[in-house]
Amino acid sequence: MKPVLALVGRPNVGKSTLFNRLTKSRDAIVADFAGLTRDRHYGNAKQGRQEFIVIDTGGFEPDASTGIYKEMAKQTQQAVAEADMVVFVVDARGGLSAQDHDIAKYLRKIGKPTLLVANKAEGMLEGIQLTEFYELGLGEVIAISAAHGQGTRGLVELAFESLNLSDEPEETDDDPSVIKLAVAGRPNVGKSTLINTWLGEERLVAFDMPGTTRDAISVPFEKQGQKFELIDTAGLRRKGKVFEAIEKFSVVKTLQAIESANVVLLLLDAEQGVTDQDAHIAGYALESGRAMVLAVNKWDAVDEYQRQLVQRSIETRLPFLSFANMHFISAKKRQGLGPVWASIVQAHKAAMCKMSTPILTRLLLEAVQFQSPQRGGMFRPKLRYAHQGGMNPPVIVVHGNSLEHVTDTYKRFLEGRFRKAFNLAGTPLRIEMKTSTNPFADKDAS
């Protein structure tokens, strides 16, 4: 599981600047989860070969009892509870404030590992201007400048050190025959009911395994000879181990489950249709390259008109998941669950598909013969051969000349041909274009 860093502090100390600095390598992944909060943001970051999740929070007032400040405090407390390490940001130029003391008191009380970071410290003499922050009782003060990128790398390295993490990725000896399955979806969509239904079937063999510090649980089980590992984002956690508010919906648990899975089952609610949260989760899974299956739960509880509305909302709001098989189920009444299993196995098989270079090249040339790419300026792209560049998700690399002029429309055309030939239902497919270089270009220039 990826480690999680939460950035907390009073307003205007530079938390968002630090968040943007840390997540610059993978800017696109993340965002507000509509309906959850306007002030808590989740982003993926990477340093060296170690990936981690960063949570940006709003201004924190631990003792706020009314209005928007109370809600902001609640969201920050959730972020702290979800994190492995808290980064407490103070303003080196603004100096120590009473609010800093309140936040420090709260962090000392909960006992979460914390790094004290003095931002906006460019050009300042450490040990003189920063000595006042030692009053907070949180150990060493780390001087950084998020705006200029000074000290941020050392900050992350220190966080990894404190968590006993190196910047090397964890080596895993996963069994390739086991399908890792994550059930994702917003609260009250029926994830717990579905999981309990699966684990309650006589043909399923299951047992709980201790999870991480965030109480995530993996459940190995077997169905019809196929071994699965369920990466849980729903119920199944022991009561009392996590805050009730966190239990309701943890974005971190969902993102980590998606990252760890081979296949993601996205569960939708037939009574409410597709929401912003559903679209965000689906988008994250797609960017992560995960194979996917869609299941619309509570199908028995809606009339024909609502069913049509749901299907239309899926077509309009999740068009980027057209590759995924869709099923209409009732977890409570155990209706329609059989075909879901078949689609999960198919999606995994497609994600791990091996494609030979001769077949790919033949399919490519046949596609070009059927429909040539559009001319780009003076040149028409020439697609010469293709080979597989990766699995889970499958990557097809196309070589040729002037391929920078190949349009997205033509790439989708090629994708459709490859999908049909290899039966790639349930997995994203990525097509990369590589233009050949002219070995005599430099000589001509000289």
Q: What is the pLDDT of residues 172-197, one digit of tens each?
A: 556 677 888 988 887 778 887 888 78
pLDDT value at residue 30: 36
- Tell me the two tokens of residue 308: 């049509």
346-349, long-range: CB < 8 A, 24+ apart: 346/425, 346/426, 347/263, 347/291, 347/292, 347/293, 347/425, 347/426, 347/427, 348/179, 348/262, 348/263, 348/291, 348/426
The number of CA neighbours under 13 Å toward the Cβ of 350 is 28
Beta strand pairing call for 325-328 and 382-390: unpaired
- In three-state secondary structure terms, 363 is helix
* Spatial separation of the C-alpha atoms in residues 145 and 188, rounded to whole Å: 42
Q: Which tens digit of pLDDT belongs to each residue from 28-80?
A: 333 333 333 344 677 778 888 888 888 888 777 666 555 555 666 777 787 78
The residues that bridge with 3 in the sheet, in sequence order, are: none
Q: Cα–Cα distance between 104 and 60 in angstroms, integer? A: 11
The tens place of each residue's pLDDT in the chain, 446 residues long, gives 678 899 998 888 888 888 888 887 444 333 333 333 344 677 778 888 888 888 888 777 666 555 555 666 777 787 788 888 999 999 888 888 888 898 899 888 888 899 999 998 887 655 567 888 888 888 888 989 888 888 889 999 998 888 876 555 555 556 677 888 988 887 778 887 888 788 775 344 444 443 333 444 567 788 878 888 887 665 434 334 444 444 445 677 777 788 888 999 999 999 888 888 788 888 888 888 899 999 999 998 989 999 999 999 999 999 999 999 999 999 888 888 889 989 999 999 999 999 999 999 999 999 999 998 888 777 788 999 999 998 889 999 999 988 888 888 999 999 999 999 999 999 999 999 988 765 555 555 44
| Cβ-based neighbours of 389, under 8 Å, separated by 6 or more | 395, 396, 397, 432
Confidence at residue 71, expressed as pLDDT on a 0 to 100 scale: 65
Number of neighbours of residue 59 by Cβ within 10 angstroms: 19
Q: Which of 115-149 are b and which e, b meaning 16 or more Cβ less than 10 Å from the residue's Cβ?
A: bbbbbbbbeeeeeeebeebeebebeebbbbbbeee
Tell me whether the omega of the peptide bond preceding residue 393 falls within 30 degrees of 0, making it cis: yes
Any idea which residue has 């196995």 for tokens?
Answer: 345
Q: What is the Cα–Cα distance from 350 to 435, expressed in whole angstroms?
A: 27
Instruction: Quote the pLDDT of residue 125.
Output: 54
Yes or no: say if 32 and 41 are a contact pair by the CB < 8 Å rule: yes
